[in-house]
Copies of this chain bind each other. A is one copy, B any other.
Amino acid sequence: MSVVIAVDAMGGDTVPESVVAGVLAAVTDSDLHVLLVGDEALLRPLVCGADGVTIRHAESVIPPESDPIDAVRGDVDSSLVVAAQAVRNGDADALVSAGHSGATLAAATLIIGRLPGVARPGLAAVLPGRNGPTVLIDAGANVDSPAAHLHSFAHLGSAFAQHVLSINNPTCGLLTIGEEPGKGDVRTKEAHALLAADATLVYRGSVEGCDVLASLVDVIVCDGFAGNVALKATEGAAREAFVRVQREATGLRASLGGLLLRPALRRVRGSLDPDTYGGAHLLGANAVTVIAHGSASSHGIAQACRYAAEGVRADLVAAIAARVG
């Protein structure tokens, strides 16, 4: 099945060069096509007539500091809005953007639309758990989410774990700050009651920050603020551990040890790399939407396109619709 991905060519830190380079790498997969949206005059010489890439012109770009909803409503000629409209019109199956993540959430909600039963789409980061991938939702797209939205995230994340990560009957847990169900803030206690009362979830109770990589559950449910803090603290600490090992590995003995251990250290570093997928699925919209990292390299963009295509092929949107409808 051939899949068409609409890519916002103008969103991200190093555009359009690294986005185009990533797209050109992604379309070497024979069944992946890209509708590349942005300034045609800039894009045409970079794409250079490559097979599998169609350029669609967009006049403007949404600036990083703009209000997401105002920008999406007001800037109808922006690359993000034109790309989202292409998905809505059926010209593409999925949206990928490395631009303003709040605006991408707004475009998914306002243009592509939400599935019935979804109050707010949730951003599903996939973490390198000890025994396999772990979904963390919401990873930062939403803040100030009420408990009912957290409940909805549990279903979105479970559908994703099952259909994209192929985990049967995925378990879920609630991110909080103590093992006992009575611990946590007001919202978390309310969310606990909702999750515990829902027999269609495989709910395992509380998960703490220290358990994020421990594979205790398949899906970690949280508000986007706590989720983003947990995600970034985990990434930062793992990176810091390796920086310090490098700094300490001086002198003949340790240098030699570091040299011999290097392949193992690289494997572990790779296993803890949050960039494996190049982005995160925004779940609950009417079409597959992947938010790539703003700083994504061309490799990251290519991975994000493939990751979006995987969601399309797995019929992720239909699976979510069946679950939450």
Residue positions of A touching B, CB distance < 8 A: 64-65, 130, 140, 143-144, 175-177, 180, 182, 184-186, 188, 208-214, 223-226, 228-245, 248-250, 253-254, 256-265, 267-268, 271-272
Closest 4 CB pairs of A and B: A257-B260, A209-B232, A257-B261, A210-B236
Q: What are 6 A-B residue pairs whose CB atoms fall within 8 Å in the complex?
A: A143-B186, A208-B232, A208-B236, A214-B236, A230-B233, A248-B267
Q: Which residues of B contact A258 (CB under 8 A)?
A: 257, 261, 264
Task: Determine if B245 and A264 form an interchain contact, defined as CB atoms under 8 angstroms apart.
Answer: yes
Q: Which residue of B lies closest to A247 (CB)?
A: B268
**A177 and B268 alpha carbons, distance in the complex (Å):** 26
Residue A212 contacts which of B236, B257, B272 (CB distance < 8 angstroms)? B236
Separation in Å of the A90 CB from the closest CB of chain B?
34
**A121 and B31 alpha carbons, distance in the complex (Å):** 60
Q: Which residues of B contact A254 (CB under 8 A)?
A: 260-261, 263-264
A209/B230 contact (C-beta < 8 A), A65-B180, A65-B182, A184-B225 known? yes
Q: Which residues of B contact A257 (CB under 8 A)?
A: 256-262, 264
A interface: dominant SS: helix
Q: Which residue of B lies closest to A243 (CB)?
A: B130
Task: Determine if A236 and B236 form an interchain contact, defined as CB atoms under 8 angstroms apart.
Answer: no
Separation in Å of the A37 CB from the closest CB of chain B?
25
Q: Which residues of B contact A263 (CB under 8 A)?
A: 253-254
Task: Determine if B229 and A185 form an interchain contact, defined as CB atoms under 8 angstroms apart.
Answer: no
Interface centre among A175, A184, A236 (most CB of B within 10 A): A236
Interface centre among A65, A228, A233, A241 (most CB of B within 10 A): A233
Q: Which residues of B contact A143 (CB under 8 A)?
A: 177, 184-186
Residue A177 contacts which of B176, B208, B228 (CB distance < 8 angstroms)? B228
Q: Which residues of B contact A232 (CB under 8 A)?
A: 177, 208-210
Separation in Å of the A247 CB from the closest CB of chain B?
8
Separation in Å of the A48 CB from the closest CB of chain B?
35
Separation in Å of the A294 CB from the closest CB of chain B?
10
A233/B238 contact (C-beta < 8 A), A257-B258, A267-B248 known? no
Separation in Å of the A295 CB from the closest CB of chain B?
12
Instruction: Give 15 A-B pairs besides A248-B268, A257-B264 with Cβ atoms closer than 8 angstroms.
Output: A65-B180, A143-B184, A143-B186, A144-B185, A175-B229, A176-B225, A214-B236, A226-B226, A229-B230, A233-B233, A234-B236, A238-B240, A248-B265, A258-B261, A261-B261
